[in-house]
Copies of this chain bind each other. A is one copy, B any other.
Amino acid sequence: MESEKDLKILRHSAAHLLAHAVIELFPKTKLTIGPATEEGFFYDFLPEKNFKEEDLPKIEAKMHEISQRNLKIEHKEISKDEARKIFKDNPFKMELIHEIPGETVGLSTQGNFYDLCRGGHVKYTNDIKYFKLFSISGAYWKANKEGTPLQRINGTAFYSEKELIDYEKRKEDLLRYDHRKVGKELDLFSFHDEGPGFPFFHPKGKVVLNLLIEYMRKLQQELRYKEISTPIILSDELWRQSGHYKHYKENMYFTKIDNKKYAIRPMNCPGSILIYKNKPKSYKELPLRLSEFGLVHRHELSGVLHGLLRVRSFTIDDAHIYCTINQVENEIFNIIKYINIALNRFGFDKISIKLSTRPQKAMGSIKIWNQAIDLLKKSLDKSNIKYDIAEGEGAFYGPKIEFKVQDSMGRVWQLSTIQIDFFLPKNFELSYINSKGEKETPIIIHQAIYGSLERFFAILLEHHKGNLPIFIAPVQVKILTITDDQKEYAIKTFNELKSNQIRIEIDETSDPISGKIKNALNEKIPLMIIIGKKEVENNNLTIRYLDGKQETLTIENVIKKFQNIN
């Protein structure tokens, strides 16, 4: 596989090839810029007459034609005076020439096509063979909404046909397995105009949410967390004291009670803190680990709402650990361990870790920040885990560790977070009595493994392409009878499995078995139990897996199979 840098060279060259084709087809078009991107490349044009999607195949064909001409791609440095002569009719290029520092600029040429360019190309146009244009979108000169409106043609390029095909397949998968589409097909959730950005969970979606909570509750119990629940509406003053009002007001919703201002919580910390403060604490009670499946509301612009991935209300598997400075390292070590257990359980094995340090807009001294960052580094080192440092990407109230996972379609998602907080304990004057009888200020560790349960659900759906792992599938198994003669045996089987906490359904239609199998596959149910005459006679069950493999087992062995899964 080519290195990332080489791919960028290829794609930037493809952008030139695109511009070359456009100029040959539409000579009056004005060129602006054409960089490589993460996913491919684009070129922004000022066309004489707007391009339409129908133009793309024609442009792509012209690109192939120029590629086959196998023109040599050359690059040279020319004086700005010379460049100004060449580009005198193109105000965009003239502006760029003015802005480039130094006395010379780069000029790239292939045949009679030329472009202002920093350089970095393949050698011949025929080196660019595997490319695809996929869309036209609006853009502005220098991405400035006040600037000239342009048209952007988007595409991608690879060094091999296989890579291009894989990429197109992935693009298709992204559409096919979009969680919004799958969620609708499987009747998991919906959105309604009456509550934009607020998800409605249907019965099967709610089963998954409840299973996510149940699984996390078990992990939290192993970590000796104690679950609490606190109100979702709390006084304005509290949010001023916590600093959220100052830093987060634009994303909060407010209400009035008895003519006093209250906020609908965007975070769960202040509620947890009020419980901590409810009684004086001794060092013997620390670390005190309070967890909450806390519903929060945060405003998002309506334009960026995106299924369950970007909502205005969601539940966080939140935890706040109140501890001494000496306990931080061990607490974080344990959390890291459990984050890995959880992410692996849900099928994420490509995990990367980022340690984010002090941002520009931050509370507290640099000294305190450095102390916190050192503790996080120590815990990571002790866990024997590789991590990157992201300078300046911490939250305003403390440094954090973020866990990212790569999903089955190559995308990277930020999930779990651990955050040290020296500031809220001071703001809220938290204290405990140490072993010498003196008052000290505890540290808070904020921590979430799923983060937003709703978002995690969406990522899980897309990662597994709708085929949720059996331990979290809303329906784990469906009974299909060959004919209605097996109905009685099917109901007996249903009741026995159901009483063993297996999530089961019966197909009660009169469809032929092939139709029943097709429906179960569409419903993405991990297992089918097929019952025909033979199974009734032999008092056993035939299991059919997603891949079509079958196996005949006694009912006891089917139950055992599930006990191993759950």
Instruction: Show the binding face of A for B, using Cβ within 8 Å.
Output: 187, 190, 192-196, 198-203, 206-207, 209-210, 226-235, 237-238, 253-258, 262, 264, 270-271, 274-275, 278-279, 290, 295, 297, 299, 302, 312-313
Classify the secondary structure of A's interface with B.
Answer: mixed
Residue among B196, B203, B233, B255 making CB contact with A226, cutoff 8 Å: B203
Contacts of A257 in B (CB 8 A): 196, 253, 299, 312
Known contacts A194-B238, A274-B192, A274-B194; A233 and B264 CB within 8 A of each other: yes
A200–B290 CB distance below 8 A: no
Question: A255-B264, A271-B200 are contacts. A195–B229 as well, Cβ < 8 Å?
Answer: no
Q: Smallest CB–CB gap between A398 and chain B, Å? A: 23
A199: B residues at CB distance < 8 A:
231
- How near does chain B come to A101, taking the closest CB pair, in angstroms? 44
Of all chain B residues, the one with the shortest Cβ separation from A302 is B258
Q: How many copies does the complex hold?
A: 2
* Contact A228:B255 (CB < 8 A) given known A194-B234, A275-B190: no
Among residues of B, the one whose C-beta sits closest to the C-beta of A508 is B284
With the chains together, A256 CA to B263 CA distance in Å?
A: 11
**A270 to B193 alpha-carbon distance, docked (Å):** 13
Establish whether residues A198 and B231, one from each chain, have CB atoms under 8 Å apart when the complex forms: yes
A194 and B254: CB pair below 8 A? Answer: no
A195-B275 contact in complex given A255-B254, A264-B255, C-beta closer than 8 Å: no
Known A-B contacts A255-B253, A257-B299; the reply to A200 vs B264 at CB < 8 A is no
| B227, B231, B295, B312: the one within 8 Å of A195 (CB) | B231
A255-B253, A258-B302 are contacts. A227–B198 as well, Cβ < 8 Å?
no
From B194, B229, B234, contact of A235 by CB (8 A)? B194
Instruction: Evaluate contact between B233 and A198: CB separation under 8 angstroms.
Output: yes
Besides A203-B290, A206-B226, A264-B264, 20 more A-B contacts (Cβ < 8 Å) are: A194-B234, A194-B238, A194-B274, A195-B233, A199-B231, A200-B231, A200-B274, A200-B278, A203-B227, A209-B229, A210-B227, A231-B313, A232-B232, A232-B295, A233-B253, A233-B264, A233-B297, A255-B255, A255-B264, A258-B302
